[in-house]
Structure 1
Amino acid sequence: MKLIVLGMLHERDMHPYEISLVMKDRNMTHYTKLQIGSLYYAIDQMAKDGEIEVVEVIRSKNRPDKTVYRITDQGRAMFQQLLLGKFKEIEPIYHPMYGALSFAKYGDAEELAAILEQRIYEMRHQVNFYYTLYEDHRGTVPLGGLHLMIGLYEHAKTELNWLQRLHADVKNNRLGELGSLDLGEEE
């Protein structure tokens, strides 16, 4: 959350609610957890740590006050540290189904197939959504944002292909068999 807030404040001074609106507008909920409470907590902590500072407080009769923040030099340094750290970070992939796959041969094949059919259906929609998201933003967002969108699209396509192969083996009751899978071309 800290990286995102500092990154947003690189663009312009904002109040927390505006930051949450920009996050939603950019569909950041598809690749980061957005909890408005944690956003406000993160902003409070960054202000205490001197990474951001208050620019102004907008007062309104009918609404709560809006505190507008800007990034400080210390915040810029923290942003660089966080950004570079994320590029260096290598996370293993944990999929909710991985733990179950070792034992799937003991499961009810018809029920597993039905669940996989639903997941495939949903994943097709996700692939289409990410493709449309990319197409709608070509030429209007920096290349870093487009790489993000293409990454989401390509990950979703890979997941869809994997689910389709798995579904075929479940339908053919092959999960308990020894053998190999066609991985396609390797780079």
Structure 2
Amino acid sequence: MAIQIYILSKLIEGNNYPYELKRQLSEPIPFDEFAGLTESKLYYHFEALTKQGLIEVVEVIREEHRPDKQVFAITEKGRKELPKKIYSLFEKSKAVSEMIIGLATLDYVDRDKVVLILEEKLQKHKERWNHMAAFREMIDVDESRMNFVNFMSDYFDSKAEHTAHWIEETIERIKQGKI
């Protein structure tokens, strides 16, 4: 979904072709490598978006001794669908790292709605974390397994605190207009 959001957001800015979008994503920082985005994956998503009617070919550039370049544009349906895809990304993300493309495309959505989605996500995260902590207290562990249980408890507590911290930080930065 993130790749499709990236493509749609770039096509709102202007018509473009797949190879150029991949090049833009790789310079100056190779985000395409970090995300494992290959040309074949990118072309797959262009094809999927075309089948959904969200983008369309508007020009074919033919150059001698080079493959044809298909130039794409976003359709009206694509413009309407982009915010829905961004909201869905925030709703489905389990960590801030999964929200990066959504955060990069906040200009295409209502920031207050994103904040509400994240506040609800944070509340559910804390409820789940508290439930698990209460459950741990009820477990009767024999002495031989106590070190392992303590290790796992520390790990998951740290991970839960980290996730909560960064969701809170993301909410605050969106509210302050720093993202």
When the two structures are superposed, what TM-score results if normalisation uses the length of structure 2?
0.50
Higher helix content, 1 or 2: 2
Larger RCO: 1 or 2 (CA < 8 Å, sep 6+):
2
TM-score (norm 1): 0.48
